[in-house]
Amino acid sequence: MLRNMTLMILVTLALFATGCQRKAHRAHDENTTTEQKQTVQKEEKAAPSTITLHTTDGNEIVLIATPKGIRFKGYEGKIVLLDFFATWCPPCKAEIPHLADIQKSYKGEVQIIGILMEENKDDLEVQQFEEDMGINYPVTNSPENFVLSDALGGIRSLPTMVMYDKNGDYFTHYVGAAPQEMIEADIQRALTKKVQ
């Protein structure tokens, strides 16, 4: 299943990549009790099949789980790159100009969606950050961001990006800052994959 496959890949790559450590809103460390671990496992198994994210400009992005990935309502036929980030994270900020370049260069073919991993952040404050950083793609700011993170196995290092192909199938992911050239090479590979 997507969650299990993504979890294995994220855990493996997290050992080799660097990035900012996210302050988890749930305990996932070695000190977690057996009871807490069982509760988290039950929650992950019961992950919703549909998640609605809310953007800072008041729009909604509906994500529907599929056996191989996620279908992004309104972005069918596009490569979708989810960027899990925080405003306080230096590597996250460093990659934003590259993501803005990619969004501009591949308009109509690629959709980047920023997934803010901070709690209780005001939309106006995030919009100011978007303006200051030149973000030209939607940014979501809602509790559902953490539901999505948990559904993908838990995002523990920022930035983390997950790419889905034009079919909505999982394609690849990056833990820590990734070079723009690497992301674009993967986009080119995903673009040549046939739509099913």
Q: How far apart are CA 22 and CA 75, in angstroms?
A: 28
- Looking at residue 195, what is its pLDDT? 63
For the chain, what is the domain count?
Answer: 1
Sheet with 160-164, strands from edge to edge, namely: 139-140, 110-116, 79-85, 160-164, 170-175
**Can you count the helices (H) and strands (E) in the chain?**
6, 10
Share of the chain above pLDDT 90, in %: 73
Q: How far apart are CA 121 and CA 181, in angstroms?
A: 32
* Tokens matching residue 18: 């660097």
Bridge partners, 171 (sequence order): none
Query: Quick one: pLDDT band at residue 21, thresholds 50, 70, 90?
Result: low
Q: Is the pLDDT of residue 34 over 90?
A: no
- Looking at residue 58, what is its pLDDT? 96
170: CATH: 3.40.30.10
In angstroms, what CA-CA distances link 88 with 34, 60, 95, 121, 126? 32, 24, 13, 12, 11
Q: Is the pLDDT of residue 63 over 50?
A: yes
pLDDT tens, position by position, 142-152: 999 999 999 99
What is the SS3 assignment for 22?
coil
On average, the pLDDT of the chain sits at 83
pLDDT tens, position by position, 149-181: 999 999 999 999 999 999 999 999 999 999 999
Could you tell me which of 16, 19, 12, 1 has the C-alpha nearest to residue 161? Answer: 19
What is this structure's pTM? 0.78
Q: How far apart are CA 38 and CA 56, in angstroms?
A: 34
| Domain encompassing residue 29 | 2-192
Q: Is the pLDDT of residue 5 over 80?
A: no
